[in-house]
Chain A
């Protein structure tokens, strides 16, 4: 069965600094990968997704992610964070034939002024 690991529970960066959030997955074939963002007390919003093709995926709000099969990773990056990026970020994988997506436990991003 597929699984997703987000190794960092909390990440703190200064406003204007670069960001990388880690995501590792476990699945025997090519997975379908997603990054979602959740503001406090709100639902989840899709940032980007990877199904096939170019391994560098561009998303909304200036985010990008790179699929690396050799490392089983799909890390999320942003060159310069803004205070409004403070939120919780979830990586997810969909690979089974039962229409389910498995979510990681999330990484909470804190921004220092």
Chain B
């Protein structure tokens, strides 16, 4: 079955530690996204990547880092510089980027990872 997987589902971290969240897709999508979700805040974009080896900061990139070495994978690292990392993290992908065109592609979401800092 095609889809997006995120692991782990639950993650606990001590303050001062970096942690990496996994996101893998087998939909052959070019674009991938990371969102953070907090109660009452909706989804806020952290980073996105339109092609391999390229990514852009979203609205709340501070304290996070990403890589896009493979089309299928877009891991997110939550660094110790992120002041309030406890949240629900969602990864998404969409089929393709069309240069100069407005974003119209449906985004498909993974099941999410809940990160708790102890």
User: Which residues in A have some Cβ–Cβ distance to B below 8 Å?
Assistant: 9, 32, 34, 36, 41-46, 49, 51, 90, 94-101, 103-106
Whether the pair B43, A98 counts as a contact (CB closer than 8 A) is no
Whether the pair B43, A97 counts as a contact (CB closer than 8 A) is no
Chain B residue with Cβ nearest A31: B102
A residues within 8 A CB of B31? 99
A interface SS class: loop
B residues within 8 A CB of A41? 88, 112, 114
A residues within 8 A CB of B102? 32, 94-97
- Tell me, in angstroms, the Cα distance from A95 to B103 when the chains sit together: 6
Whether the pair B103, A101 counts as a contact (CB closer than 8 A) is yes
Chain B residue with Cβ nearest A29: B102
Q: List which B96-118 residues lie within 8 A (CB) of chain A.
A: 97, 100-104, 106-112, 114
Across the interface, A99 reaches (CB within 8 A) one of B42, B103, B106, B110, namely B103
B residues within 8 A CB of A103? 35, 42-43
Known: A32-B103, A99-B103. A9 touches B40 (CB 8 A): yes
